[in-house]
């Protein structure tokens, strides 16, 4: 892990096991965020808190990420202070753990890390799990003002399309990119049109992971993005359907490869694919 640009943001399952006492004492906060929101209840890493991405990592009224006040409430109730190291992990190769990581970074939490391989690796390694909910002493958390440099909104993406000044990375599956399907197989369709934002490169998020859920080597990741013309010298905007898969790719680009200007467009295809008169490209990725 030491070859990554920011290895301090990644811990192994073994490291977490070695630090279970610090998690139990409250010195470190461990948080599970899953795609399958019931997975935590099956059994989780001892001492882990469970966050529901749909209700606790999003504003449930307005379509938005958490507000500063909501972040302060969530972290305060979880017994986290601005100095507490927060380790995030989850199912499906840390898909939604990265969504949590992105939001904590937006609100300036200094020490956020991801458990490499996530829940899948922990279970497959037959490490101990617990069904007990973690109990942590609440704190009064003060978040920083949101860092606007980590997020893209629609007008900025539209400018990027017109000027081709930023690399757009579509991290959805090839079928979603081409327009063959409007949502991942088995999930509800949430947009009016299929296809992708003009000029976007298709680099599915899962290509950044090994079979065991860990991140690929820095050399493999560099090849993955550079072979599609996504390089460090220009801004990058990542998007998917609702912004969570792209937060995983955002993490890879920014913290594992060290790209300076990477933003997550969380409006993503459910915004663009529902816009009247928005330009859309269809068909498979072009080489």
**Residues involved in catalysis:** 240
- CB nearer to other proteins: give 84 or 202: 202
The pair of three-digit structure tokens given for residue 35, joined into one six-digit string: 């795609």
- Residue 215, φ and ψ in degrees, nearest 5: -75, 145
Q: What angle do CA 41, 119, 95 make, to 5 degrees?
A: 105
Spatial distance between the Cα atoms of 190 and 192, rounded to a whole number of angstroms: 7
Q: Is the dihedral of CA 133, 137, 143, 147 positive or negative?
A: negative
* Binding flag, residue 14, other proteins (CB under 8 A): no
* Binding flag, residue 133, other proteins (CB under 8 A): no
Give the number of residues in contact with other proteins, rule: CB under 8 A.
46
* Binding flag, residue 212, other proteins (CB under 8 A): no
Kindly report the length of the chain: 287
Pick the binder of other proteins from 245, 247, 257, 272 (CB under 8 A).
Answer: 245
Piece of the chain touching other proteins by CB under 8 A; list 67-75, 103-111, 127-135, 144-152: 127-135
Pick the binder of other proteins from 146, 195, 267, 273 (CB under 8 A).
Answer: 195
* Residues 155-194 as x/- pattern, contact with other proteins by CB under 8 A: -----------------xxxxx-xxxxxxxxxx-x----x
* Binding flag, residue 92, other proteins (CB under 8 A): yes
262, β-bridge pairs: 236
What is the side-by-side strand order in the sheet with 10-11?
Answer: 10-11, 112-115, 86-89, 29-34, 49-52
Spatial distance between the Cα atoms of 87 and 78, rounded to a whole number of angstroms: 13
Piece of the chain touching other proteins by CB under 8 A; list 38-46, 107-115, 142-150, 230-238: 38-46
- CB nearer to other proteins: give 74 or 176: 176
Q: Is 115 helix (H, G, I), strand (E, B) or coil?
A: strand
Q: At its nearest, how many Å lie between other proteins and the CB of residue 181?
A: 6
The pair of three-digit structure tokens given for residue 40, joined into one six-digit string: 């935590």
The residues of the shown chain that bind other proteins, judged by CB under 8 A, are: 35-36, 38-39, 42-43, 91-93, 95, 123-124, 126-131, 172-176, 178-187, 189, 194-195, 198, 204-206, 245, 279-283
């Amino acid at each position: 892990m030491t070859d990554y640009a920011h290895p301090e943001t990644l811990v192994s399952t073994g490291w977490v096991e070695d630090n279970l006492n610090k998690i139990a004492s409250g010195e470190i906060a461990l948080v599970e965020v899953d795609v399958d929101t019931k997975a935590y209840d099956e059994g989780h890493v001892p001492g882990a808190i469970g966050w529901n991405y749909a209700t606790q990592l999003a504003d449930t009224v307005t379509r938005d990420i958490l507000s500063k006040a909501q972040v302060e409430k969530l972290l305060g109730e979880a017994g986290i202070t601005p100095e507490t190291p927060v380790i995030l992990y989850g199912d499906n190769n840390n898909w939604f753990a990265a969504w949590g990581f992105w939001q904590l970074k937006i609100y300036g939490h200094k020490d956020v890390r991801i458990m490499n391989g996530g829940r899948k690796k922990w279970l497959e390694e037959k490490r101990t799990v617990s069904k007990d909910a973690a109990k942590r002493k609440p704190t009064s958390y003060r978040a920083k003002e949101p860092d606007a440099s980590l997020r893209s909104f629609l007008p900025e993406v539209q400018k990027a399309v017109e000027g081709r000044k930023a690399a757009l990375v579509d991290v959805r599956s090839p079928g979603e990119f081409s327009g063959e399907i409007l949502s991942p197989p088995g999930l509800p369709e949430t947009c009016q049109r299929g296809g992708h934002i003009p000029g976007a490169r298709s680099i599915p998020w899962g290509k950044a992971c090994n079979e065991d859920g860990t991140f690929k080597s820095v050399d493999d990741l560099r090849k993955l993005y550079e072979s599609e013309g996504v390089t460090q010298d220009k801004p990058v905007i990542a998007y998917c359907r609702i912004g969570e898969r792209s937060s995983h790719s955002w993490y890879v680009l920014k913290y594992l490869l060290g790209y300076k200007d990477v933003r997550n467009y969380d409006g993503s295809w459910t915004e663009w694919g529902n816009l009247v008169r928005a330009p859309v490209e269809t068909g498979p990725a072009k080489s």
